[in-house]
Structure 1
Amino acid sequence: MRLEEEERAPHLIVLENVCGALSSHGGKDFAAICSALSRGGYRVGALVMNAVHFVPQSRPRLFIIGARKASVPLPSELRADGPGDTWHSSALVEAFGKLSQSSQKSWTWWNLPSPNTRTSIFADLVEDKPLRVKWHTAADTKRLLGMMSPVNLAKVEAAKNAGRRMVGTIYRRTRSDGPNGEKMQRAEIRFDDVAGCLRTPSGGSSRQTIMVVDGKRVRSRLLSPREAARLMGLPDTYQLPKNYNEAYHLAGDGVAVPVVRFLAEHLLEPLLAAVRDEKKKAAA
């Protein structure tokens, strides 16, 4: 409020978080954020943007955008009458329904166009000669296969018969599906040409493993730092930390570059352009 009183409040405020922020504490956390922005003099709206529209990584993230009422005119093409299919998930719509009346009055359904169809698949990003990671031994790969459930082993067998090189990604998760219902670590694989969501390397299970299946030949290794960077939309000219964990942390804790570029191009920059146009009119 002090910035508002001193006329130093930013025109736009953009917050990014995991989508769990919509439902944490029964939706109270999201409601508190929207209420604070509304009381601070901002129109508020949110988007759930999945990086999978731009890069072959499943990475949905929540973006909350506040536009200052006193200084940011809202062009009609940037507002929608209600939620859309691409950027407004059912969880977001549900969270909106739990907002207070005052927050809902300050709400705006931001209108972004649909993205172009993604043309790349995960296999396109995989390095032939990766740096800072080594291929697992045959015994290591066999051990990894031994951690798979029948459902996941069936996926590997299907990949062997696909007639082309298949690249899957694996996360290790603890499941209660042991012989007697006890908890055990499982290796879960996906072969849908999309990598799982990158995470920060807080433990061995958070590092994503890849499995390359070429006919009957099956190999595995950790995802390389460069592959992780590519999954975030970073160019190969981007200089990564030399330490593996630091490089992986940079990717796992970041925001996907093309997602932010799309948001800026289709919403943030047009809003700021509207502010500049308004100032020009006032000065004329």
Structure 2
Amino acid sequence: MPEIVNIASARPKVLEFFAGIGLARMGLEKAGFRVAWSNDYEQDKWDLYRNHFKDVDGEEHSFTLGDIGAIEVAQLPRDAKLAWGSSPCTDLSLAGSRGGLRAGESNAFWQYVRLLEELGDDRPEVVVLENVVGLATSHGGDDLAAAVRAFNELGYSVDVLALDARRFIPQSRPRLFLVGALNPPEDTVEPDGELRPDWLQAVYGDPTLRMHRAPLPAPPAPLLAGFGEFVETMPTSDERWWDTVRTEAFASSLSPVQRDRIASMRRTPGVKYRTAYRRTRNGVAVWEVRPDDISGCLRTARGGSSKQAVVKLGNNRLQVRWMTPLEYARLMGADDYNLSGARTNQALFAFGDAVAVPAVSWLAEHYLMPLVRGEFVTRDVDMAQVRRG
């Protein structure tokens, strides 16, 4: 009789730290991984996660709700091949306080490192840290070096990649990915490139750090348009469009250059869409509309300045409204995410604080899965020394 293979067990197992609503999981599982354990501390995100994924707290998956600092290593599966961590970026983002890796919520990274260390010989072969590109310049680059060094001390050589979700979806969302490998690929790649731009080269030139550059295909070129295709279909009479007074206030707050451009687009036949943010300039709240058919970076919607508006232009009409949860989901590559029962601000905050699904799936397909399966030509490494850290 032919051997019966358990498909679930054949898929490499993943630990998903800082899971949020599970968009990293969606990207990883598209590439053939299986997320077996997840953690997040926010109830609202857990509610969305549980509503979308139907296997939580079952035989194939468990979710630990709570502060990562309170998690004990005994709660983790011991046979995972990959650990993914999208640690909080509040103190690293260009829109945040820039306090650094040890400030505020961002110090949760060190609890991630603690748990990997406590796994000992059972730590995964590959680890990932996903964060904002501000990590590369935080404290003059010292924070990035500290993160690399922390992984080095656990036995991992590290590769650092910059990847913008705009290469896959019409949203400008650059992110940094640190990929740690116990058995790293041979370093045969030219220093500069699309994935490792010149502003990342300092960390590779640091002789105190153990780094590698995996040979990867070039990612798709950044999209130049396409946001209009992601807009939720909505009649002009829908009550979510702002009323005349509010729309006129929006238009009057634009700079003269933007006002002229919007007026010109408004007069043209057909319908076009743009996105807009509210900014504070010289103490005055103003609106700024993107000139291209690309969404600005989605953010955590804690206030009006972080929420993104949709601007509809053409046929002598101007309409404005807030972006919807469905549009947020589409712009994160999660078109089929189950939003039933989700509150609007709950969904906007959760998606704005997540990683784009197609960026994860591209990285997983071209880098993480080949690394786990040993498909790269690897260096000669003293694995006993690596395992000892």
Q: TM-score range by the shorter chain?
A: 0.7 to 0.9
Which ranges in structure 2 are unaligned for 5 or more consecutive residues?
1-113, 379-389
In 1, Cα distance between equivalents of 2:286 and 2:224: 31
Q: Deviations over 1:249-283 (max 9, x none)?
A: 121011100000000000000001108999xxxxx
> Which amino acid in 1 is paired with 2:143?
D
Q: In 2 relative to 1, CA 73–243 (structure 1 residues): closer, same or farther, beyond 3 Å?
A: same
Select 2:196's aligned residue among 88, 112, 126.
Answer: 88
User: Displacement, 1:155?
Assistant: 2.4
Select 1:54's aligned residue among 168, 171, 179.
Answer: 168
User: In percent, how many aligned pairs have the same letter?
Assistant: 36
Q: Is the 8 A contact 2:275 2:290 kept in 1?
A: yes
SS state of the match for residue 259, structure 1?
helix
SS state of the match for residue 158, structure 1?
helix
In 2, Cα distance between equivalents of 1:244 and 1:216: 30
- What count of residue pairs does the alignment treat as equivalent? 261
Q: In 2 relative to 1, CA 87–200 (structure 1 residues): closer, same or farther, beyond 3 Å?
A: same
Select 1:234's aligned residue among 328, 334, 337.
Answer: 334
SS state of the match for residue 14, structure 1?
strand
User: Displacement, 1:80?
Assistant: 1.4
Q: Which residue of 1 aligns with 2:78?
A: none
Alignment of 1:101-180 (within 5 A): 101-103=207-209, 106-116=210-220, 118=223, 121-129=226-234, 134-176=240-282
User: Displacement, 1:185?
Assistant: 1.2
User: Displacement, 1:90?
Assistant: 3.1
In 2, Cα distance between equivalents of 1:63 and 1:191: 29
TM-score, with length taken from structure 2? 0.62
Whether 2:149 is the aligned partner of 1:35: answer yes
> Which amino acid in 1 is paired with 2:304?
G
TM-score, with length taken from structure 1? 0.83
Q: Which residue of 2 aligns with 1:180?
A: none
Q: Is the 8 A contact 1:226 1:236 kept in 2?
A: no
Whether 2:262 is the aligned partner of 1:262: answer no
> Which amino acid in 2 is paired with 1:63?
F
18-27 or 112-121, which moves further after superposition?
112-121
Which ranges in structure 1 are unaligned for 5 or more consecutive residues?
177-182, 279-284
> Which amino acid in 2 is paired with 1:187?
W
User: Displacement, 1:55?
Assistant: 0.4
Q: In 2 relative to 1, CA 190–269 (structure 1 residues): closer, same or farther, beyond 3 Å?
A: same
Select 2:305's aligned residue among 200, 205, 215.
Answer: 205
> Which amino acid in 2 is paired with 1:89?
P
Q: Which residue of 2 aligns with 1:244?
A: 344
Whether 2:297 is the aligned partner of 1:193: answer no
In 2, Cα distance between equivalents of 1:113 and 1:59: 20
SS state of the match for residue 130, structure 2?
strand
Q: In 2 relative to 1, CA 172–276 (structure 1 residues): closer, same or farther, beyond 3 Å?
A: closer
Q: Which residue of 1 aligns with 2:158?
A: 44
In 2, Cα distance between equivalents of 1:20 and 1:259: 18
